[in-house]
């Protein structure tokens, strides 16, 4: 391990008077999954958007170790280069699959879009790759030409993951990937994600309010409250021995089954 | 004599200047949509207000004007626009492609090859090729600026997945000069190869959306496709019932209640020229 894949230094984002996230710093190493947990409104998603270059922070820097271009300042890049990065080396999985998918075109086209955006022009190859990825995310191949509007919530989420991973990104940002799914579907999706992260040696930043998801998927955890990181450490350590009062409250409020 | 109640070619001189500036910019950046201050014209949107403003801005007394609608010189729209310019701009009009210096067209490119010095003015309903895929104007402008055209390829992929081939037959997207994605206006894809490296200047005017774009002479225009599904134009098994052409774009007409079909050239001038030549050939053996 030479350098962290992604590092944030003092990232701050304000919306008018309101501070959505304040002075967040961390480093993400290759192959690592970082969880960001906290209640609604604690600034998790804002932070994720700042990291992924979708929002411009008011203070601080985000640097990324690019395979193609070396160390880059995410917000110092031109828009063209940032968008190129976002569709080649990065993935972004939205909470609402409808935001991350093109609902008007078939699943195959959804998966193939990134390939075509970076210059693939052979229909047969694109279609074969789409098939491979559909199989990887455990969707029946006869649904390849169906639109995502005909898919269930869990299938849409899996399709969204396939669409992002097709360009073999190194870093994936996930915003509540299991939100709004029922428990058994969640379990399958988590299994799948764990397998894919392992197999493709992905690094990921995962935002969730579900500590169970964090426990299963992440290596390290940051706990946010009111826009600030109040605690961070190894996932098991944070969840089993929470130090900060807020973390203790979060852990204690998990419903016992 | 021009109609004295109006300025020459209907539009006032300042407006024509403004449109000419937009045209110059459009020619300088092939395929780029230049906004302009579109004026109310004495015909409804959708009938060629964009084309007529471009024609008004470039036409002069020495010009010869031809106007076609779906390839025909004798349809209402074509006749009205031709008569309009004969009255307000005092220009000679013709139906012969070879004689014309300015050709305003809707939905076709003439079959007769164009020459240097000729100008082809297209009437464009929707100038933005990405409109049906991306409704936000701010986003389409960004996509053009960064030449991110993957989404257009996605629409072609979708067409093959659904129909087994690229089913789009008109308004077929093209890449101009290797840079800008352009809507060629609703011409049949049969005409797309004629846009490529054409010696004539092509100007596109969209009245409702107030955009002008251009393809300068000899500019490469490439129709989008896939390596294993190359671009193809329409073919007919029949030939033209009137002139016997196998090279031109044919309109299908149903001529009786039994569903009998007749195929004729959509380009009336081309068809008549051929018929005339054949008649002369018969008379002088």
* DSSP 8-state secondary structure symbol assigned to residue A27: E
Q: Is there a catalytic annotation at residue B265?
A: yes
| Whether residue A164 has pLDDT greater than 70 | yes
Subunit contact A109:B228, Cβ cutoff 8 A: no
Distance separating alpha carbons of residues B51 and B83, to the nearest angstrom = 15
Subunit contact B151:A117, Cβ cutoff 8 A: yes
Distance separating alpha carbons of residues A12 and B217, to the nearest angstrom = 53
**Alpha carbon A175 to chain centroid distance?**
5
Distance separating alpha carbons of residues B91 and B88, to the nearest angstrom = 8
- The one catalytic residue in B4, B164, B265, B281 is B265
Residue closest to B56 by CA, chosen among B90, B101, B23, B9: B9
Subunit contact B146:A83, Cβ cutoff 8 A: yes
The model's pLDDT over B155-185, given as tens digits with 9 standing for 90+, comes to: 999 999 999 999 999 999 999 999 999 999 9
Chain A CB contacts of B228 below 8 Å: 122-124
ipTM of the complex: 0.87
pLDDT, tens digit only, all 285 positions of chain B:
556 788 999 999 999 999 999 999 999 999 999 999 999 999 999 899 999 999 999 999 999 999 999 999 999 999 999 999 999 999 999 999 999 999 999 999 999 999 999 999 999 999 999 998 889 999 999 999 999 999 999 999 999 999 999 999 999 999 999 999 999 999 999 999 999 999 999 999 999 999 999 999 999 999 999 999 999 999 999 999 999 999 999 999 999 999 999 999 999 999 999 999 999 886 544
Q: Which of B147, B161, B175, B230 to mutate to test the interface with A (most CBs of A within 10 A)?
A: B161
Which one of A83, A123, A127 has the shortest CB-CB distance to B148?
A: A83
The model's pLDDT over B174-218, given as tens digits with 9 standing for 90+, comes to: 999 999 999 999 999 999 999 999 999 999 999 999 999 999 999
CATH superfamily of B13-223: Bacterial phosphonate metabolism protein PhnH (3.40.50.11310)
Distance separating alpha carbons of residues B273 and B245, to the nearest angstrom = 11
User: Chains A and B: how many Cβ contacts under 8 Å?
Assistant: 53
Contact (Cβ atoms closer than 8 angstroms) between residue B202 and residue A97:
no
Chain B CB contacts of A123 below 8 Å: 157, 160, 226-229
Residue count of chain B: 285
Subunit contact A79:B142, Cβ cutoff 8 A: yes
- The one catalytic residue in B38, B48, B205, B240 is B240
- The one catalytic residue in B38, B51, B207, B243 is B243
CATH superfamily of A1-89+170-257: P-loop containing nucleotide triphosphate hydrolases (3.40.50.300)
Subunit contact A123:B227, Cβ cutoff 8 A: yes
| Whether residue A146 has pLDDT greater than 70 | yes
Task: Cite the beta strand spans of chain A per DSSP E.
Answer: 6-15, 18-28, 33-37, 59-66, 70-73, 90-93, 171-175, 203-208, 220-225, 228-234
Q: Report domain extents, chain A.
A: 1-89+170-257, 101-168
**Alpha carbon B198 to chain centroid distance?**
13
Identify the pLDDT of residue A183: 84
């Amino acid at each position: 391990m030479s350098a962290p894949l992604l590092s944030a230094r003092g990232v701050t984002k304000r919306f008018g008077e309101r501070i959505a996230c304040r002075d967040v710093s961390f480093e993400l190493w290759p192959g690592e999954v970082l969880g960001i947990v906290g209640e609604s409104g604690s600034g998790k998603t804002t932070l994720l958007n700042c990291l992924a270059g979708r929002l411009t922070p008011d203070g601080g820097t985000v640097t990324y170790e690019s395979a193609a271009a070396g160390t880059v300042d995410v917000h110092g890049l031109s828009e063209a280069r940032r968008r190129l990065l976002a569709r080649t080396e990065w993935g972004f999985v939205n909470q609402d699959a409808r935001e991350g998918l093109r609902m008007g075109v078939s699943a195959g086209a959804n998966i193939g879009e990134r390939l075509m955006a970076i210059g693939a022009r052979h229909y047969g190859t694109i279609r074969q790759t789409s098939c491979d990825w559909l199989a990887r995310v455990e969707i029946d191949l006869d649904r390849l030409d169906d639109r995502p509007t005909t898919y269930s919530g869990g299938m849409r989420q899996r399709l969204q993951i396939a669409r992002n991973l097709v360009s073999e990104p190194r870093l994936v940002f996930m915003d509540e990937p299991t939100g709004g799914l029922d428990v058994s579907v969640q379990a399958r999706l988590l299994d799948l994600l764990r397998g894919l992260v392992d197999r493709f040696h992905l690094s990921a930043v995962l935002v969730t309010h579900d500590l169970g998801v964090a426990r299963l998927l992440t290596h390290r955890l940051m706990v946010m409250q009111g826009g600030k990181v109040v605690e961070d450490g190894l996932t098991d350590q944070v969840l089993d021995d929470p130090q900060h009062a807020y973390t203790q409250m979060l852990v204690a409020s998990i419903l016992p089954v | 004599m021009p109609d004295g109640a109006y300025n020459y070619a209907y539009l006032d001189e300042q407006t024509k200047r403004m449109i000419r500036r937009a045209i110059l910019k459009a020619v300088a950046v092939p395929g780029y949509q230049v906004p302009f201050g579109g004026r109310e014209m004495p015909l409804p949107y959708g009938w060629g207000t964009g084309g007529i403003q471009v024609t008004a801005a470039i036409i002069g007394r020495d010009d010869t004007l031809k106007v076609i609608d779906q390839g025909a010189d004798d349809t209402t729209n074509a006749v009205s626009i031709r008569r309009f310019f004969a009255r307000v701009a005092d220009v000679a009009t013709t139906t012969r492609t070879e004689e014309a210096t300015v050709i305003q067209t809707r939905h076709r490119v003439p079959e007769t090859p164009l020459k240097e010095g000729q100008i082809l003015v297209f009437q464009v309903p929707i100038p933005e090729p990405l409109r049906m895929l991306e409704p936000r104007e701010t986003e389409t402008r960004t996509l053009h600026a960064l030449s991110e055209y993957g989404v257009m390829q996605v629409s072609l992929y979708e067409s093959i997945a659904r129909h087994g081939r690229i089913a789009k037959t008109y308004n077929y997207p093209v890449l101009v000069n290797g840079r800008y994605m352009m809507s060629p206006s609703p011409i049949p894809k049969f005409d797309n190869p004629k846009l490529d490296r054409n010696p004539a200047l092509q100007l596109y005017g969209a009245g409702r959306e107030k955009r002008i774009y251009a393809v300068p002479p000899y500019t490469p225009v490439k129709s989008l496709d896939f390596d294993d599904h190359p671009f193809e134009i329409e073919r007919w098994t029949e030939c033209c019932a009137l002139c016997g052409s196998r090279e031109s774009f044919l309109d299908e007409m149903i001529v009786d209640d039994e569903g009998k079909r007749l195929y004729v050239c959509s380009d009336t001038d081309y068809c008549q020229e051929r018929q005339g030549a054949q008649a002369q050939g018969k008379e002088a053996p």
